[in-house]
Amino acid sequence: MMKTPFVTKAQVDEMIKKYPTPFHLYDEKGIRENARKLYQAFSWNKGFKEFFAVKATPNPTILRILKEEGCGTDCSSLTELMMSDKLGFTGDEIMFSSNDTPAEEFILAKKLGATINLDDFTHIDFLEKTAGIPEKICCRYNPGGTFSISTTIMDNPGDAKYGMTKDQIIEAYRILKGKGVKRFGMHAFLASNTVTNDYYPVLARTLFEVAVEIKEKTGVKLDFINLSGGVGVPYTPDKEPNDILAIGEGVRKVYEEILVPAGMGDVALYTELGRFMLAPYGHLITTAIHEKHTHKEYIGVDACAVNLMRPAMYGAYHHITVLGKENEPCDHKYDVTGSLCENNDKFAIDRMLPKIDMGDVLAIHDTGAHGFAMGYNYNGKLKSAEVLLCEDGSTKLIRRAETPDDYFATLDGFWDVDLNVK
């Protein structure tokens, strides 16, 4: 089974003349088309809005594209709030979903008019003391136990550090109502990277039923319900991608079954998708620079886990295309490795690929979310550039690669040597 890159070898050969590998490449056309399809899927819900999970791809150019497509931002930190503010996202366009939250982050979120999503019952008192209770607030729900679809266990919310129990969240709404809150929302994230059209509809049923119970017990009628993220992408080529139109229709049926009869047919639905919005529209472009023949066959590339941590951290699969050799037989078994002094710095293990020659360029798929964003500087490695493939076929550098000067910049007063590294 194969995945087709959104870029050709000829295009990448031209890019490499301007941007040395490795670099992350994003497909503007694919990003825009996908966002429009999401909005089409939920067009039946008058207040629907997607709040892109900034943590997945925190690049201003990407956020601007999504803003133009009607998306807001889902922030989880001070700097993500600052980036959203700088880009002109205001008030109801920002969700602030955090946990173990420092006071300064609540203060900025309230100042920006962001919708604060309280992760814990104790945060009510903490928020009131540090920033004050706003007129609009959201609470995060965790039903505990396991989350299943039919007989398949999708994830284990009971082990997750996020959210309140049902008793806690009902009491939270009662208290917040008494403190003058006028607009309420509910949020939950119960499973990660699901590749099934049933996840959102099943999650929606759980949340809609709790929303009706909240109204009955507290008199609080929710203004919005945030389905959060969890709709994933098929990293392996043998899986079918989610059908967002079918997902939207599935949620609509549950909405009309549960919320409409309860007099809650005007509740807005929100999503906080990251992976679904961006992952398939990003490639890590890297060059084969070494080969090694020992107990196994190794191909060493100029990228490493600093550029894409998921395979090293989770053992995650990312498909690899050897550009220009898409139609050649995959008759060579390789471990594709980076240069970190860690044995788990491998993009692929025992992967069947075409014969790779030194200088071949590889496109590692589905890196548009949680790719560059999870980068780090272990071994003194430097983060790569980010490049946008524009709709008209041109390219634009949207983040330059780090330099040694960047790496040493926080050592002011301690590092006075001019390295003259070119």
- Residue-by-residue DSSP string for 102-151: -HHHHHHHHHHT-EEEE-STTHHHHHHHHT---SEEEEEB---S-EEETT
Instruction: Give the Cβ contact number of residue 120 at 10 Å.
Output: 19
Is 195 within 8 Å of 242 (Cβ atoms)? yes
Identify whether 7 is part of a domain: no
303 and 381 housed in the same domain: yes
186 and 264 housed in the same domain: yes
User: What integer best gives the mean pLDDT of the chain?
Assistant: 94
188 and 229 housed in the same domain: yes
pLDDT of 220 strictly over 50? yes
DSSP 8-state assignment for residue 400: P
pLDDT of 130 strictly over 60? yes
Identify whether 417 is part of a domain: no
307 and 269 housed in the same domain: no
Is there a catalytic annotation at residue 71?
no
169 and 190 housed in the same domain: yes
84 and 186 housed in the same domain: yes
253 and 333 housed in the same domain: no
86 and 176 housed in the same domain: yes
Range of the domain at 292: 282-411
pLDDT of 411 strictly over 70? yes
262 and 349 housed in the same domain: no
227 and 344 housed in the same domain: no
187 pLDDT band (50/70/90 cuts)?
A: very high
Can you tell me the distance from the alpha carbon of 252 to that of 263, in angstroms, rounded to the nearest whole number? 15
Tell me what the mean pLDDT of segment 285-304 comes to: 98
CATH number for the domain that contains residue 110: 3.20.20.10
In the set 71, 75, 341, 390, the catalytic residue is 341
Quick one: residue 180, left, alpha or beta (phi over 0 = left, psi -120 to 50 = alpha)? Answer: left
115 and 230 housed in the same domain: yes
214 and 288 housed in the same domain: no
72 DSSP β-pair partners: 51
pTM of the model: 0.94
Question: How many separate domains does the chain show?
Answer: 2
Identify whether 231 is part of a domain: yes
Can you tell me the distance from the alpha carbon of 369 to that of 328, in angstroms, rounded to the nearest whole number? 29
Which tens digit of pLDDT belongs to each residue from 86-106? 999 999 999 999 999 999 999
Identify whether 358 is part of a domain: yes
